[in-house]
Amino acid sequence: MLLPSSHGRTARILWAALAAPLAMLSPPLSTQAALAAPPGSPPAAATPPRTGPSELTVRSADGVALAVMEQGDRRLPGILFLHGFGQSKLSFRRQFGSDLADRYHLVAFDLRGHGASAKPDDPAAYSDPRRSADDVAAVMRATGLVRPVMVAWSYGGVVAGDYLRAFGAANLSGLVLAGTLGGFTKASDPLPQSLADVASRMRSASDQTRSNDLAANIAGARTISDAYASATTTSEDRQILFATELMLPAYVRRAMIERPSDNTDVVGKLADLPILLVRGETELGMPETGIADLKRQLPQLTISRYPGGHLTFFDSADRFNRELSGFVDRSEPSARTAARPAGLPLSRAGHRAFRDREFAMMDRNGDGVIDHEELRLRMEAAVGRSSPEALARAMRVNCGRDVPSCSRAAFRRQGDGEFNRLDANRDGIVSKDEFVAAGSTFHHEQPF
């Protein structure tokens, strides 16, 4: 939630308080022959049931451990969710538990200092926007996200600005701003009296959460979490809100409140990026003047208005998920096509892109190599079983030989070798006839 910088420290305190939120499927390996079931084994289900989100830890550029949640096929179009101040990746559980996971690759992570991510005690770990940008980049690399749509909620809008400033928009397909203007405009309006009292209570609660007095921390966290309850909020939701709010230490809050949040210098990077802005009717931090100013600067911006307040994606999850799906599908048709596995005929570039995505899918810790444990997890997600013999066979097929670990370069070389073997006329395209004539054991609808 953003207020104009002219309000000074009081505005920053209010903004931080208002930023508190309410709250794999794995396709077969490209080397399907390596995963072939032993004779007599029961066939795998044609359509596996949707699995729950998986959890992994990613190290950022400065070594901070980030807790990441992902769900869905990594070859599908990606959506990266950035949560608000004082909350966590669990804020998006009504997205991860939905049909979105059948059509897209969903990724969310706990911002540094939040949730299950590490909480360094150096104030510079939170005041430097570049570190925030590097966190996003590290998660994108580790989860194989290529041109995802970024969904930035509340303080997540500031994080989106950090990423765009450092890396630009070339690796994004679109941006959704939910409950935030991202610091991309300074234009503002005074709060109506009906909301001024709410803002005052939130300012006091924000002060309490930054205090070294534990009792005050608890009281402030209770006020903030209760303020965002709605008719859709269950007792479990309330517990998650409150507990997650308490997981952000006071020293982190103090460091974050002092960091810059003005992203007006980044607006130029958004000129060609599809943008959806989602606003609740009682939203405190998205003034109409600011929305109009942002629309003037970015004519491609689409505005969607919801009942309720700050938690549109949670309180109206069904509608939000439908709109998000439509936005993703409209944002980058070419990226959607490239993200799905190609059949035959297949170009060399298409095959390499598939291999790169396949490697990223297996490289769960993002260290640039795949080992037997990562391969085992991948195989069990694909066919529900593995064995030492199958692991050795899969490593040989993917990397040329059975080794403890295999680099991205070796994985790519092995794929290039298979492509060259099948491309009999050396025209850079493998046709179905070439595929069959070579006696390949791979299924012709997969880009081997």
DSSP line for 339-353: HSPP-SSEEHHHHHH
Evaluate whether residue 386 is within a structural domain: yes
Same domain for 186 and 283: yes
Contact 140, 79 (CB under 8 A): no
Same domain for 308 and 216: yes
Last residue of a domain, one of 336, 351, 379: 336
Evaluate whether residue 67 is within a structural domain: no
Contact 54, 374 (CB under 8 A): no
The residue segments making up the domain with residue 112 are 5-24+72-336
Evaluate whether residue 32 is within a structural domain: no
Q: Looking at residue 379, what is its pLDDT?
A: 72
DSSP string, 122-133: -THHHH-HHHHH
Dihedral, 118, 121, 122, 126 alpha carbons, nearest 10: 50
Whole-angstrom Cα distance, residue 394 to residue 388? 10
Q: Looking at residue 243, what is its pLDDT?
A: 93
Judged by phi (left if over 0) then psi (alpha if -120 to 50, else beta), residue 428 lies in left
Evaluate whether residue 328 is within a structural domain: yes
Give the number of residues written for the chain. Answer: 448
Q: Looking at residue 308, what is its pLDDT?
A: 82
Same domain for 362 and 225: no
Q: 355-378 burial, b for 16+ CB within 10 Å, e for fewer?
A: bbbbbbbbbbebeebbbbebbbbb
**E strands, 293-338, in order:** 302-306
Same domain for 237 and 98: yes
Contact 239, 213 (CB under 8 A): no
Evaluate whether residue 47 is within a structural domain: no
Contact 412, 352 (CB under 8 A): yes
Is the bond leading into 345 cis (omega within 30 degrees of zero)? yes
DSSP string, 129-198: HHHHHHHHHHHHHHTT--SPEEEEETTHHHHHHHHHHHH-STT-SEEEEES--TTS-----PPPHHHHHH
Same domain for 408 and 317: no
Whole-angstrom Cα distance, residue 412 to residue 30? 12
Domain count, the chain: 2
Contact 253, 12 (CB under 8 A): no
Whole-angstrom Cα distance, residue 96 to residue 108? 9
Tens-digit pLDDT string for the chain (448 aa): 332 333 333 333 333 333 333 232 233 344 443 433 444 444 444 445 667 888 999 999 999 999 999 999 888 999 999 999 999 999 999 999 899 999 999 999 999 999 999 999 999 999 999 999 999 999 999 998 988 999 999 999 999 999 999 999 988 999 999 989 989 988 777 767 666 777 778 888 888 889 889 999 899 888 888 888 888 888 999 899 999 989 999 999 999 988 888 899 999 889 889 999 999 887 777 888 888 999 999 999 999 998 888 888 998 899 999 999 999 988 865 444 444 445 778 888 777 777 877 787 677 666 788 888 888 877 765 555 778 888 888 888 888 888 899 998 889 888 888 888 888 888 888 888 888 787 765 665 667 6
Same domain for 231 and 166: yes
Whole-angstrom Cα distance, residue 167 to residue 204? 36
Evaluate whether residue 215 is within a structural domain: yes
Q: Looking at residue 186, what is its pLDDT?
A: 85
Record the pTM: 0.67
Which residue in the block uniquely carries the two structure tokens 């996971």? 101
Same domain for 288 and 433: no
Q: Looking at residue 193, what is its pLDDT?
A: 67
**∠ CA(435), CA(436), CA(440), 5° rounding?**
70
CATH number at residue 392: 1.10.238.10
- Measure CA of the first residue to CA of the last residue in the chain; give whole Å: 47
CATH number at residue 84: 3.40.50.1820
Which residue in the block uniquely carries the two structure tokens 């791979």? 442
Orientation of helix 348-362 relative to helix 408-422, angle to 10° = 140
